[in-house]
Structures are given as C-alpha cells and as structure tokens.
C-alpha cells in the first residue's frame, strides 16, 4: 500500500495545474459551505439567546393549564423545596420566580393597558441583564416600592423618573388591585411589543398589589447550554409531577422555531446546489484526466500491470486530491469564521430595521460549533470519493488496443 500511495502522489503532481484545479474546487466548496453554515447557525443561536435571555428563559414551570388560560388565579405558591430541587437538576444554573398580570396604567389624562411583571431583581438581572439596559434612573432593588417602565410606554404616557403612575386592575380571586407607584427607572426592552407595554415591579410589591400572598405564575429556569434543553426538560417533567406544566422555549415560541426550521431547509437547498456544482467540477477534471492518460493506462496494462492495481492507484489519487482540498478548506474556514465570530457583521438600512422590529440586535453572528465545519468537510469529501467510481469503471472497461491507439 505504501508503494501505491507514493505512485498516486507522484502522479498527481505530474500535472500540477489539473491537480490544483481539482483541489481548488474542493477547497472553495468546504470554505463557502462552512461560511454559509456558520452564518446560519450563528444567526439561529443569536435569536435563541435573545429570546431566552431577554424574557422567556430556557424553561418555564407553571401551574398545569396556565399557558392556555393566563390569569392571576391560575398560579401556584412559591415553594422553596421545589426551587431547590429544580436548582439541583442537571444543567440548571438559575431559577427565578415571576408574577405576571395586566392592569390599566394612568398618568395625568393618559391611560393605557400594561403588562405587569413581578420579579426578584437580583436573580432576574442574572437572567436578562436589564440593569445595563436602564436608560434613566436605576434598576429595582429587593422590596423596592417603585416600578420600572418600558421606554415606549413611558414616552407615550409622558413619564420620567420620579413621576407617579396609577395602576388599576383585578387581583387574586377578584380582589381590587389599585396603587400609586413611583417611577424608579426607564428601561429599554429589546422586544418592540414589550417595550410598549411592560412594567416591572419587585415581586413582593407586585404580590401586595395583586393581593397574591406568596403566589407566582412561573418559575423561569436557566441552563448552562441549549444543548441540554431536552435532557433538562425530561428531568424537570419527572421532578414536578402532574400539578405543574414544564415548557421549553421551543414550546413557548413555536413561530420562531418554525422560522428557524424553514430557513434551515432553504439553506440546505442552497448547499445542495453548491455541492452539485462542486461535484460536477471535480467530475469534469477527473474525466479530462482519464481522457489524457488513456494511452498511458493502455501501455501500463500491456506491460503486465493488473487492472485492479491500476484502479487502486487511481482511487488513491482521487482520495488524496479530496483530502488535500478538504484540509486546505478547513484550514482557511476556521480562522475566517472565527474572525466573524468575534466581529459580527452589522446590518444596516432596511435589513437592520426589519431585525430590530422583530426584537433582535441588528447583527449577523457566526457559529464556531464543530459540526458546522466537520459536516461540510465530510459531505464534500464523500462527494469526491463517490466520483472516484468513474475512474474505476473506466479502467474496468478499458480495451488495450483502443487505448494504445489513443
């Protein structure tokens, strides 16, 4: 086999131009497909991180039936034993309670419906990092009697820090919920919808306002990695029992999941077209090589070389061309994608406006997931190896006299 490898390698460099052209086709195939896949997967990761870190968390635990009927009466008591058990589950990094409901917000002569969310300020900030997105005033402190108002809601109602806002709603089991609150800060929420209606309160203040005792509507669960989502979901399902419903961000955001899957499918079509073009490019150079060397093959067989040995050498030639192109493609794509991983491409104009309206930062991010690179390299190398069947068939059908006259 060592002799065959030497012969194959020397044969490749007898015609450097042909070898370089074939290797270049493989090289650019790996480079372009890896770049495209890294950009796609990086964008999906960016969307998921935004949804998870700015609002939903990876998993939420509710009272059974809450997601279908989101009322303050469909709540459960914040149970320290449950929270401790959840925090001990594999992959879980943080659990924080929330109490969500609606109320009418009023200031001067302006009234608007608002989403009220009671939070544990310290733990919530570890989930969302909203203390850094408070554009005026300060973030909530534990047991703070003030409220944080989303920027667009504050602008609509002409509110500023230290102004007062009146909230009126329905509390637990029909109790009247009414209160006057000081604006502790103005928050810019990344989601345009929430930025128009959101008010944050300390969860204890919120419970007093809604007469909700120690109740909460959800426990938000954060994980160390999205890859652990399914495992954590199964563990928490068995841990919580039938009295609770455990929902992943995928179940809470089905539209985003469908958009990702649809875009991923279109990406596969584009890569399939790219693979076909690469395959025909490699096949063309292999066919040209076989035509140019037909007489050479006839002479070699005529002097006594067995066809199967010649086929092995040709197979190794194609194998080495593919391996060289794949290795070079990986060597070039890794630093290129790593640069864009560290320096995402900013979007401008209409594209940036569209992404902002969806609630995401206007940047094109890249992924450095190992599968992004290996999958493309393996696929293109497999195409190269499949094309190696052509020389084998050609040699098998070769007629010595016809080849000698070529």
Give the pLDDT of the chain (406 residues) as one tens digit per residue. 677 677 777 777 777 887 888 888 888 888 888 898 898 888 888 888 888 888 889 999 999 999 988 889 999 999 888 889 999 988 899 999 999 999 999 998 899 999 999 999 999 988 888 888 889 999 998 888 999 999 999 999 999 999 999 999 999 988 889 999 999 999 988 888 888 999 999 999 999 999 998 999 999 999 988 888 999 999 999 888 888 999 999 998 888 888 888 888 888 888 888 888 888 877 887 787 777 777 777 777 777 777 777 777 778 888 888 888 889 989 999 999 999 999 988 888 777 777 777 667 788 889 888 888 888 888 888 888 888 888 777 777 767 666 566 5
Largest CA distance in the chain: 103
Q: Where are the alpha helices (DSSP H) in 14-159?
A: 16-51, 80-88, 121-128, 151-156
Q: Return the residue matching tokens 């490699």.
A: 282
Query: What is the C-alpha to C-alpha distance for residues 95 and 239, in angstroms, rounded to an integer?
Result: 14
Query: What is the C-alpha to C-alpha distance for residues 32 and 28, in angstroms, rounded to an integer?
Result: 6
Q: What is the model's pLDDT at position 359?
A: 65
First and final C-alpha spacing in the chain: 30
* 242 touches 106 (CB < 8 A): no
Query: What is the C-alpha to C-alpha distance for residues 30 and 391, in angstroms, rounded to an integer?
Result: 23
pTM: 0.78
C-alpha 374: how far from chain center: 17
CA-nearest of 181, 198, 179 to 133 is 198
How many residues are there in the chain? 406
Q: What is the model's pLDDT at position 178?
A: 93
CA-nearest of 278, 139, 107 to 286 is 278
E strand or H helix at 232: helix 229-240
* Tokens read off for 175: 């109790």
The SS3 call for residue 393 is helix
């Amino acid at each position: 086999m060592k002799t065959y490898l030497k012969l194959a390698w020397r044969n490749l460099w007898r015609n450097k131009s042909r070898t370089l052209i074939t290797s270049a086709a493989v090289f650019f195939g790996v480079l372009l497909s890896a770049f495209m896949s890294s950009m796609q997967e990086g964008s999906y990761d960016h969307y998921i991180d935004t949804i998870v870190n700015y609002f939903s968390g990876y998993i939420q635990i509710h009272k059974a039936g809450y997601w279908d009927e989101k009322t303050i009466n469909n709540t459960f008591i914040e149970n320290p034993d449950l929270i401790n058990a959840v925090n001990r589950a594999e992959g879980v990094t943080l659990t924080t309670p929330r109490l969500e409901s609606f109320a009418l917000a009023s200031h001067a002569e302006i009234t608007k419906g608002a989403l009220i969310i009671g939070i544990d300020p310290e733990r919530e900030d570890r989930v969302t990092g909203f203390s850094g997105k408070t554009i005026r005033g300060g973030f909530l402190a534990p047991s703070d009697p003030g409220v944080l108002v989303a920027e667009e809601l504050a602008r609509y109602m002409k509110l500023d820090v230290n102004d007062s806002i009146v909230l009126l709603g329905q509390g637990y089991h029909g109790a009247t919920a009414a209160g006057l609150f000081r604006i502790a800060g103005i928050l810019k929420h990344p989601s345009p919808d929430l930025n128009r209606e959101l008010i944050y309160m300390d969860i204890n203040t919120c419970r007093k306002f809604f007469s909700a005792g120690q109740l909460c509507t959800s426990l938000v669960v954060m994980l160390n990695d999205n890859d652990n989502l399914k495992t954590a979901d199964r563990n928490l399902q068995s841990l919580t029992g039938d009295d609770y419903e455990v929902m992943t961000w995928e179940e809470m955001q089905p539209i985003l999941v469908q958009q990702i899957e649809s875009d991923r499918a279109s990406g596969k079509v584009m890569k399939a077209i790219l693979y076909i073009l690469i395959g025909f490019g490699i096949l063309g150079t292999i066919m040209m090589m076989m035509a140019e060397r037909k007489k050479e093959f006839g002479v070699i067989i005529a002097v006594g070389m067995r066809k199967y040995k010649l086929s092995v050498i040709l197979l190794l030639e194609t194998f080495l061309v593919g391996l060289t192109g794949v290795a070079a493609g990986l060597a070039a794509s890794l630093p290129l994608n790593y640069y864009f991983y560290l320096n995402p491409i900013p979007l401008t104009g209409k594209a940036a406006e569209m992404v902002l309206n969806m609630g995401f930062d206007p940047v094109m991010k890249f992924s450095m997931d190992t599968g992004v690179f290996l999958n493309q390299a393996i696929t293109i190398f497999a195409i190269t190896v499949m094309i190696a069947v052509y020389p084998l068939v050609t040699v098998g059908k070769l007629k010595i006299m016809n080849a000698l006259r070529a």
